[in-house]
Structure 1
Amino acid sequence: MATIILKTLINAPIENCFDLARSIDLHLQSMKASGEKAIAGKKSGLINLHESVTWRAKHFGIPFEMTNKISTMEYPIRFVDEMVKGPFKKLHHQHHFKIIDSQTEMTDVFEFEAPFGLLGRLVEKIFLTNYMSKLIEKRNKAIKFQAEW
């Protein structure tokens, strides 16, 4: 299983950052390059505890669908989304928020496991971890831009 930890400092109140991180609309805007769409469940607005969203996107030229559910939420310091159906063997994404001086530190702890055993682990190491890191960084830049605007 691979783990990605990313920290982003944002010059905005913690509540704004928390809400932007769970905004379906901002997520869609930040993932336009992969043609991502929300096709079922919560399709716009702010996703809340026990709600789910099904995404459809194209990565590596292959169409994927994935359903994620918010399994934990402690406003405005933490929420967790987990894949309940999709291309990974496991996907668990923790979003943590804390105030540092006058900024909000947003920390992503993104754990995932590719299917297909040894081959999947090899794919994780060779390129999937880097690819997923870049997607999360792109999303975080959109959150930061919107929060600081």
Structure 2
Amino acid sequence: MPALIEVVTVIDAAPATVFDLELDVDVHAASLAGSRETASSRRRQLTLGDEVTFRARHFGLIWRMTSRISAYERPSRFVDEQTRGPFRAMRHEHLFEARGDGSTRMTDRLTITAPFGPLGAVVTRYVLAPYLERLLRKRGDYVKRAAETGRRVR
């Protein structure tokens, strides 16, 4: 059974700025430095069809996941989907909506399906989904600070 996680972050910057930060592999890695996240791809700024492989420590284990940018509509939306990794399926939709005050409403919509049938569904609901929601909030906060200050933050 798939789990849907949705996180909204309001950022005082234009949608194009936030969109570009979200597709920057260096920003991604820096935003989750606590889990020793690395992101490797052929280029720093991802676009349609690009793949990126993430490596990080979660739950005391090293995890690897490769995702491909499957939809790209700058500056309003992009989607990345797992091509190899720990989930049966993972789809992450990123939405960027301009607000009347010049800010951006960034919505992360993550859908995951874990392996291992009913046991995986229980683990997803009570362990993975809350954990991934915290990671998305942390990442959103990092992108917010980077966009609003015009520089990467630590």
TM (norm. structure 2) is 0.92
1:82 partner SS: strand
Q: Which residue of 2 aligns with 1:23?
A: 24
Count residues in correspondence: 147
Matched, 1:7 2:8: yes
Q: Which residue of 2 aligns with 1:80?
A: 79
2:145 partner SS: helix
Which AA in structure 1 matches 2:127? F
Which AA in structure 1 matches 2:14? P
Q: Residues of 2 paired with 1:38 and 1:77: CA distance?
A: 23
Q: Which residue of 2 aligns with 1:142?
A: 142
Task: Could you tell me which runs of 5 or more consecutive residues in structure 2 were left unpaired when the two chains were aligned.
Answer: 150-154
Which AA in structure 2 matches 1:21? E
2:70 partner SS: strand
Deviation at 1:92, TM superposition (A): 0.1
Q: Residues of 2 paired with 1:98 and 1:79: CA distance?
A: 12
Deviation at 1:38, TM superposition (A): 2.2
* Percent of matched pairs sharing the same residue: 39
Deviations 1:20-68 (A, max 9, x none): 11110111101111111124x33x5211110001111111011111000
After TM superposition, which residue ranges in structure 1, 4 or more long, deviate above 3 angstroms?
none
Counterpart mapping for 1:33-112 below 5 A: 33-39=34-40, 41-42=41-42, 45-101=44-100, 102-112=102-112
TM (norm. structure 1) is 0.95
CA RMSD of aligned residues (A): 1.0
